Amino acid sequence: MNAYRAKPLTYPWPPFFYMAAFAGAVGLGRTLPIAVMHGHGWVPWLSGSLLIILAVCLDVWSVKTLIERRTAVMPHRCSSHLVTCGPFHFTRNPIYLGYTLMMVGFGLITLNPWFFIMASAAVAIMTLFAVRNEERHLLSRFGFEFERYCRATSRWI
């Protein structure tokens, strides 16, 4: 049996990667502040708030879709169905995209550029260590159907 058929990850790392990136952005913002021009008061705050609301809605919609399709929500569990509807119709990783948008939103609210840098780093780390393993898992489980889905749907945006 293919090792990737069993489960994509040994531990649910993705939320911890994003929590570490968030903590890193806060810590770096306090210890190594980057001078930014202050925005027009309410514009970055409103933009960041709307982005965070969008991110939370995307995450909730994604989890709801996975639960409705009776497949694994946690990234270290074996997928029982290939989900291509709901937010998965637009992106293959809507939950991770939601986490990333949330970090960008906090960056806008706090005017801390480290959030943008750490969000970019989190995307790179997620792609290398989680997304590729999940994709190998889905490819071994669903074969051609997953390949067709990958051709039709982008990985992130």
Residue 8 belongs to a domain: no
Task: Tell me which residue of 155, 11, 156 sits closest to 97, measured CA to CA.
Answer: 156
Q: Look up the domain containing 78 and give its range.
A: 42-152
Q: In degrees rounded to 5, what are phi and psi of residue 73?
A: -95, -40
pLDDT at 14: 83
Residue 4 belongs to a domain: no
| Structure confidence by residue, pLDDT tens digits, 56-95 | 999 999 999 999 999 888 777 778 889 999 999 999 999 9
Task: Tell me which residue of 8, 4, 18, 13 sits closest to 104, measured CA to CA.
Answer: 18
pTM score: 0.88
How many domains does the chain fold into?
1
Q: What distance in Å separates the CA atoms of residue 87 and residue 156, rounded to the nearest whole number?
A: 11
Tokens of 144: 């051609």
pLDDT at 59: 96
What does each C-alpha distance from 88 to 73, 149, 156 come to in angstroms?
13, 10, 10
Residue 137 belongs to a domain: yes
Q: How many helices (H) and strands (E) does the chain have?
A: 7, 0
Residue 67 belongs to a domain: yes
| Structure confidence by residue, pLDDT tens digits, 18-66 | 999 999 999 999 998 887 766 667 889 999 999 999 999 999 999 999 9
pLDDT at 152: 96
The mean pLDDT of 97-111, rounded to a whole number, is: 95
pLDDT range class, residue 10, cuts 50, 70, 90: low
pLDDT at 133: 85
pLDDT at 85: 96
Residue 80 belongs to a domain: yes
Q: Annotate 30-93 with DSSP letters as a single string.
A: HHSPPP-----THHHHHHHHHHHHHHHHHHHHHHHHHHHTT---STTSPPSS---SGGGGT-S-
pLDDT range class, residue 2, cuts 50, 70, 90: low
Residue 5 belongs to a domain: no
pLDDT range class, residue 143, cuts 50, 70, 90: very high
Contact 114, 28 (CB under 8 A): yes
Q: What distance in Å separates the CA atoms of residue 64 and residue 86, rounded to the nearest whole number?
A: 9
